[in-house]
Copies of this chain bind each other. A is one copy, B any other.
Amino acid sequence: MTPYIADFLEYCRGPASDIYFQRAADTLAAAGLDPVVTMECFADRDGLLFGMRDALDLLRRSLAGEGEVWALDDGSPIAAREVVMRVRAPYSRFGRLETALLGMLASCSGWATAAREVVDAAGGRPVISFGARHVHPLVGPVMEHAAVVGGCAGCATPLGAQRAGLAAPSGTMPHAMILVFGDTVRAALAFDAHMPDDVLRIVLVDTFKDEAEESLRVAKAMGERLLGVRLDTPWERGRVTIELVKEVRARLDLAGHRGVGIFVSGGLDAERVRQFVAAGAPVDSFGVGMAISAAPPIGFTADIKEVDGKPRTKRGRIPGVAAAPRLRRVV
């Protein structure tokens, strides 16, 4: 459960819930109505489901032993309009949670779905999620967890890695550190000298000099201790191209540094990753940012389908529970 909100259930039921759910609750209570209601939840487009475990935790605490819940597992591929969760319980037990439940699924599934697309494009090469900086820090680690569920091999923040069950967060070195040192080789040697052994020695090589030249300088200075170089050419210099990767690979090989890997980042999305892979560019892993972190949420909708056991729903929807054989009883 999200650890950094004191009483998350209260938060979701109250200040973070659409006010009209509170008003509905008050009106129904005043009218003495609290029927058992069946509500179903579905997405408006295909995707990869995530956020369900947190949603169910919340719901379970709110139901406090009453009612039944069926759901799909996090990580399931889902189809547009497929039922992903069904709740049958007295309405007062869960009505005010709708904003929070939908919101968790929407954000998390949006990120996981985008990650899956990039990971599929990478065809087996590891993809690391580096986009925490593009989302509010309150959800940065959540986004990273979603990226890992979507198939990413790593993510950047300690909390994200912890949530995702990874041994450690991933990271190389920022341009800022190299700029402070004033020279890539000097920065690389200091990094190597002071970092614990379990930190990967991957050096960023586009800060001051041509990437190919800098790669050779770093490889020569660090020798066998160098695990890889990171190419992150800025768009002002045309971003990393397929040909640059091939050339750096060739020049490293010519100089005898066949063991040095190449890590590519900078404005990558699924389409560009696909092009690198299709062209046979010798990339060892990809770092991806906004293609995952800026992915739009997937819209989720919650519909009442039965009231007191009778099919009832609003215009535009089919009354009664929908066929949903993949659902599993979870509460």
**What's the least CB distance linking A53 to chain B, in Å?**
14
Q: Are A297 and B293 in contact (CB under 8 A)?
A: yes
Report the separation of the CA atoms of residues A100 and B33 in the bound assembly, to the nearest whole angstrom: 46
A317: contacting residue among B110, B134, B176, B247, CB under 8 A: B247
Interface locus among A63-71, A115-123, A167-175, A220-228: A167-175
Instruction: Compute how far the CA of A35 lies from the CA of B177 in the bound complex, rounded to whole angstroms.
Output: 11
Decide if A125 is an interface residue (CB 8 Å cutoff).
no
Whether the Cβ atoms of A18 and B246 lie closer than 8 Å is: no
Distance, CA A71 to CA B11, complexed state (A): 33
Q: Are A15 and B316 in contact (CB under 8 A)?
A: no
Chain B contacts for A274, CB-based, 8 A: none
Q: Given the known inter-chain contacts A27-B190, A290-B299, please indicate yes or no for A33 contacting B181, CB distance below 8 A.
A: yes
> Is A134 a contact of B299 with CB atoms below 8 Å?
yes
Interface residues of A (CB under 8 A from B): 2, 4-6, 11-12, 14-21, 23-24, 26-28, 30-31, 33, 35, 37, 39, 51, 91, 95, 98-100, 102-104, 106-108, 110, 130, 132-142, 156-159, 161-162, 168-182, 187, 190-191, 193-195, 199, 206-210, 212-213, 233-239, 241, 243-244, 246-247, 250-251, 254, 290, 293-297, 299-300, 303-304, 307, 311-320
